[in-house]
Copies of this chain bind each other. A is one copy, B any other.
Amino acid sequence: MKRDNSAPTMKDVAREAGVALGTVSKVVNGIPVGESYRIRVEEAIKKLNYQVNSYAQGLKANKTYTVALLIPNTREPFFGLLAYHINLALLKRKYRLLLLSTDSDMAQEQEYITMAKQNKVDGIIGLTYNPDLVVEEGIPFVSIDRSMGAKIPCVASDNFAGGQLAAEKLADLGCKKVAFFRVGSVLNNEPNKRKAGFENGCLSRSLPYEMKIINTGESYDEFERFLLDHMRDGKLEIDGVFCVTDGLAYFTCKLLRRLGLRVPEDVQVIGFDGIRYFGNADYICSTIVQPVPDLAEMCVELLLQESMSAKPPLVCLPVTYAYGGTTLESPEEEDKGE
């Protein structure tokens, strides 16, 4: 798009209003001037349909009112939901969102860090598994799910408590032997704590458990092999599975049914994330729900809060359990653990 050469400038406004250029500048930037001057300038702006040049404004204020979000994609429901709520939290504060959703382009991610250095954006919220991403101190950056260094706040769900809650729930629902299924990054990150929380929950309830853990990129056939290894006469020795994500829970339910097992009658399955059909219909499976609107608010709050002298290195927000058809229904009155 080419700029229309006939677009009026601040000089045109000054000429039209019969005032000095500095007076127009003051009015445009909200600096007080005499009432009669203000009115003349505003009338001239209206008459000429003068549009403030935002680049010049940005140059002056060193503020862009723009925040960049680095996120793998918006195709997977958890990421799409998170991007949506971060957008809402920014809009509420009159900030714009620059979206970088690129599953694996690490050079692009690094370029956005450079943009923050160049004041092209006021800050960055990043959910990234780029192991080499360098975020210098002093760049306003809030990380989701993964610690990027002591000076960079990390916001996550309370993944440990979520894993523990899943174990307790399976125990409450009558499971006698359970398993934890995980596919994930080898990078150190907050969701890894789901495993430790689950183990802790199983131990505190004396619930026997096993683990099947594979890394991103490895074959899911491992899970089928694990289940077949635990079948005796067409029955599975395991009656509850906690999966590290709802996506893996969905896969696991399909696998169990293919092996002739009923979900939830023979095996109960709990996922993690709280994904719903079409974004807002039923839960796809029984699940530990991440508080996505709260995560989004916290990220934006921590990023834009300038008066905080020390930002917290790690913030964990509470999760909840939701029934989604792959566990037995709880009795109406919840057992309060008395």
Contact = CB atoms under 8 A, between A and B. Distances in A.
A168 interface: no
Contact of A83 (B52, B74, B281): B74
A1 B53 CA distance: 21
Interface string A45-62: 000000111111011001
9 contacts: A51-B117, A51-B118, A55-B55, A55-B119, A69-B99, A74-B83, A88-B101, A98-B98, A275-B278
A88 B71 CA distance: 12
A306 B2 CA distance: 10
B102 A87 contact: yes
B278 A119 contact: no
Interface in A287-309: 306
A81 interface: yes
Contact of A88 (B52, B102, B138): B102
Interface residues of A, number: 61
If over half of A's interface residues share one DSSP class (helix, strand or loop), that class is named, otherwise mixed; here it is mixed
Given A81-B75, A83-B99, A105-B91, A54 B115 contact: yes
A59 B87 CA distance: 27
A333 interface: no
A220 to B, nearest CB: 11
A100 interface: yes
A96 interface: yes
Nearest to A49: B117
Interface stretch (A21-29, A142-150, A176-184, A243-251): A243-251
Nearest to A72: B84
A199 interface: no
A76 interface: yes
Contact of A1 (B81, B114, B119): B119
Interface string A75-98: 111011101100110010000111
A73 B87 CA distance: 9
Given A55-B59, A96-B98, A277 B284 contact: yes
Contacts of A138: 4
A258 interface: no
A77 B280 CA distance: 10
